[in-house]
Amino acid sequence: MNNRNKLISVVLVSTVLVLFLLLVSSTALENKDSRELSTPNKGIKLEPIYGAEYSDIEIPAELTSSSMCSANLTVKNTGTDTWIKDGKEPVCISYHWNNTNGTVIYDGLRTFLPYNVSPGDTINSEVLIKTPDQEGNYTLVIDLVKEGVTWFEVQGTNPLEKEVEISKRVLEQQGKLEYRTDYPEINKLQALIVNTTNSSATVFVDNGKPILGFYAGSGYPQIWVRDSATVIQTGRYLFPETFFSSWIEAFCENQMENGSIPDYISPYGSDKNTVETDQEASLVHSAYLYYKMTGNTSWLEKTVRGERIIDRLDDSLMWVLTNRYNNNYGLISGAYTADWGDVQFEDTPGTHVSEKTHWTCDIYDNSFFFQACNELSLMQTDLEENERAIFWADTAHSIKENVNKYLWQQKKGYYKMHVRISPVNLDFNEEEMFPMGGNVIAIQSGLANHTQAEQIFEIARERKIQVNSSTIGCVLIPAYPSSFFANTIMDEEYEYQNGGQWDWFAGRLVLEEFINGRNEDAVVHLREIANQDNNVGGLYEWYTLNGTGKGSPMYLGSAGVLGQCVIEGYFGVDLSNNSLVITPGLGTDNGSISLYEPTSDTRFSYNYTAFQNNTILFDYETNYPGEIRFNFLVPENKRAYIDSDILPESTYNKNENGKYLTFSSESNRSVYKIVYY
C-alpha cells in the first residue's frame, strides 16, 4: 500500500515537472519569435525574412487561352534573407490563376532568378506565363516561391495581382475562303487548307506586347520566317492584317546588331539555323507581300528599336552581301545542303555551320535573294529612295546573270543544285540531280525566263514518272545515296529533304503551271496532291514516294501554298491594294469561289459555268471599289468574243504564257457570256 502511494506521488511530481518544463519552453519560443518580428521596448518593427515589393507588370487585359506570355517584372527584396537562385531550395518567380470558383492553376511555370538577390537589391526579369485553357475572367497572382519551403504570400508578403480576361476571340477566323469545283478531291482539300491555317494561328505576349502569327505546324511551336512567308497569300483571306504585320515587326525587333535575321521567334526566344541563307530574303519577301496587300508606305517607315522597317530590311540583305557573297562566282553562298534544306551533310543535326562545313552557291538561295532584291527595290522606289532602289535592282541583275552563267544547264533543261566552293570528292554525278524546289523558286522569282520555265516543267513531269512518285512533289530526283547525310532523318534515299515529296514546293510548282498557261497539267497535278492529302487525312510536312505522310501532320507551309495555288492559280484571283485581276484557270471545268479579305474589307465571288458548246457563263459580285480586269485564256486554234447585253471593250492580249481575251469592268455585279469559236 505504502509502495503504491509512493509510486503515485512520483508520477504526479514527474507530471507536474514535465508540464512546468513545457510551459517554460513554450514561453521561451514565444519570446524568440516575437523578438524576430518586433522590439516593443523601442517601437521598431523588424523586417520579415520573406519580403518582396513588385512593380507593375505589362500584361494585356485580354489574353488568349492556352497561350504563352512573357513580360518584364521588377521586384525588390525587402526581406532579410538573400534569394538564392539555385541549389536545393532556390527562390523562383511564379504565379497562380484564380477565378470566382477559386484557384484554377496553383503551380505556375517557374522563372529562375538571373542571380542571387541580396536584401535591398532590385532585379528585372522576363517572366514566362502560360494562360488557362478555359475562357473567362481571372486574377493573375504573381508571387515568389522558395522551392520546397513556402510561397512568399503565405509568409505575409503581398503578391502582385492583375485582372485578365482569357478569350479565344483573337484567334477566330474573320475572313472567308470557300470554293467548289468539278473534282471532289479538290473540294475536300479546302477543309484541310482552312483547318490547318486556323489551327496554326497563334498569339503570344513578348515583353508585354502581343505577337500574332502562325506556328509552322504541329511539332513546331515557333513562328518560322520562311514558313510564314508562304502563308500570307492564303492567310489574308482568313485573318486580319495584324496576323502578318505583327510577326514581321517581331522579326525586326529580334534582328541582330549585324543585320542578320533569326529563323524563328517564340515565347522561349529565337534561334538561327546558320547553314541556311534564306532567312533575310524571306523576311523581305514577307514585308513586300504585306505592303502589296495594304499599300501602306507609312508602315515601311515605322520605327522598330530606333530604326525604320525599310532600313532593317535593307540591313538584312546587306548582311547577306557582306557575309555570304562569293566573289569568284558573284553569287550568294550557303552550306552544302540538299537544295533548299537546312541540314548539311557532314554532321548531325547539321543545322549549324561547323568546322566540317563545305560551302556552295546554290540555285535556291540565289533565286530567293534575287527576288528579295527586286522587292526591296520596289518598296524603296515607292518611298522615293532612289539611290538604294537602284543599288538593289543592280544587285538583282548581277545575281541573275551569274546564276544563268554558272547554274543553268542548257542541255539538261534545268538549274543544277549548286556549284561547290569547297572541294568534295563524290562517286556520283551531282549535276544529274534535278532540284525541283530551287528550280521552282527560280521560276517564281522571275529569275528563269519563260523558255527555261517550260523546260523545267517538262523535267519535273519526266522525273516524276522516272521514280513513280504519287505526286509532282518529289524535291530531288535522283536523291543523294544512302548514308551521304550524317543526320538519320535523311540518310536514306527519298527521305525528308533528300528527295521526299513536299506539298510545300509542289503547290508552288502547280501555281506556276497555272500562271504559265499550262492549265491542264496543273489540274492533273493538283488533283494528285489533293488525293494524296485526303487519303492520309492531313497536310503532312512531307511524304514518301508512295504517298505516306511523314513529319508534322498539320504543316502550315503546305496549307499556304496549296491555298494560293487554288485561289491565284485555279481560280485566278489576284487582289492587291490597288488592283483586282481575274484570270480563271478552270478551262472547261466548272467552279465557284467566294472570298473575303478582312484587311481591306473586300468581298469577291464568282460562278464559272462551262458549256459543251464552247461557251463560258461568268457571273461575279464584289464590293471592290475600282476597275477589275479579266483575262480569259483562249486556245491557240480558237478565237473568242463576249456575248452580253452590255459589251465591255475587249482585246486580245498575247504574251509568252498564251493568248487571252482581256476586258475591264467597274461594275460590282455582272454576268458575261464568253463564246469560243
The pLDDT assigned to 648 comes to: 85
Residue 669: Cβ-neighbour burial (10 angstroms; 0-12, 13-18, 19+): exposed
Confidence of residue 339 (pLDDT cuts 50, 70, 90): very high
The pLDDT assigned to 67 comes to: 93
Percent of the chain at pLDDT > 90 equals 87
> Which residues are bridge partners to 629 per DSSP?
581, 664
Percent of the chain at pLDDT > 70 equals 93
The tens digit of pLDDT for each residue in 140-154 reads 999 999 999 999 999
Confidence of residue 47 (pLDDT cuts 50, 70, 90): low
> Among candidates 499, 556, 565, 557, which has minimal Cα distance to 530?
565
The pLDDT assigned to 208 comes to: 84
Q: Average pLDDT, stretch 527-548?
A: 98
The three-state DSSP-derived secondary structure of 546-588 is CCCEECCCEEHHHHHHHHHHHHHHHCCEEEECCEEEECCCCCC
Task: Please give the Cα distance from 203 to 170 (Å, whole number).
Answer: 8
> Which residues are bridge partners to 141 per DSSP?
96, 161
Check pLDDT > 90 for residue 646.
no
| Cell 548539311, residue located | 344
The residue ranges of every structural domain in the chain are 2-45, 52-167, 171-570, 575-676
Architecture per CATH, 52-167: Sandwich (2.60)
Q: If DSSP codes are grouped into helix, strand and coil, which group holds residue 337?
A: strand
The pLDDT assigned to 540 comes to: 98
Which string of DSSP letters, residue by residue, matches 236-258?
A: TTTS-THHHHHHHHHHHHT--TT
Confidence of residue 650 (pLDDT cuts 50, 70, 90): confident
Q: Which CATH class is domain 575-676?
A: mainly beta
Q: Average pLDDT, stretch 383-399?
A: 98
Confidence of residue 534 (pLDDT cuts 50, 70, 90): very high
Q: Average pLDDT, stretch 479-490?
A: 98
Check pLDDT > 60 for residue 374.
yes
Tell me if domain 171-570 and domain 575-676 are identical in fold: no
Task: Please give the Cα distance from 314 to 308 (Å, whole number).
Answer: 10
Angle, alpha carbons 632-634-638 (nearest 5°): 150
Task: Please give the Cα distance from 456 to 340 (Å, whole number).
Answer: 17
Task: Please give the Cα distance from 415 to 435 (Å, whole number).
Answer: 8
> Which residues are bridge partners to 140 per DSSP?
97, 162
The more confidently predicted of residues 459 and 653 is 459
Check pLDDT > 70 for residue 21.
no
Task: Please give the Cα distance from 379 to 168 (Å, whole number).
Answer: 35
Q: Average pLDDT, stretch 27-34?
A: 32
pTM of the model: 0.89
Query: In this structure, which CATH number among 3.40.50.150, 3.20.10.10, 1.50.10.10, 1.20.120.1200 belongs to the domain 171-570?
Result: 1.50.10.10
The tens digit of pLDDT for each residue in 583-631 reads 999 999 999 999 999 999 999 999 999 998 899 999 999 999 999 999 9
Check pLDDT > 60 for residue 4.
no
Please report the sign of the dihedral spanned by the C-alpha atoms of residue 664, residue 665, residue 668, residue 673.
Answer: negative
> In Å, how far are 242, 292, 306 from 252, measured between CA atoms?
15, 19, 11
Q: If DSSP codes are grouped into helix, strand and coil, which group holds residue 147?
A: coil
| Cell 513545457, residue located | 22
The pLDDT assigned to 413 comes to: 98
The tens digit of pLDDT for each residue in 74-109 reads 999 999 999 999 999 999 999 999 998 888 899 999
The pLDDT assigned to 319 comes to: 98
Contacts of 223 (CB under 8 A, 6+ apart): 202, 211, 213, 214, 215, 216, 247, 250, 264, 265, 266
The tens digit of pLDDT for each residue in 293-321 reads 999 999 999 999 999 999 999 999 999 99
**Cβ atoms of residues 33 and 92 within 8 Å:** no
Residue 208: Cβ-neighbour burial (10 angstroms; 0-12, 13-18, 19+): middle
Residue 3: Cβ-neighbour burial (10 angstroms; 0-12, 13-18, 19+): exposed
Tell me the residue type at 353: V
The pLDDT assigned to 23 comes to: 37
Confidence of residue 36 (pLDDT cuts 50, 70, 90): very low
Contacts of 332 (CB under 8 A, 6+ apart): 277, 320, 324, 325, 326, 361, 365, 366, 369, 399
The pLDDT assigned to 647 comes to: 79
Task: Please give the Cα distance from 34 to 29 (Å, whole number).
Answer: 9
The pLDDT assigned to 636 comes to: 86
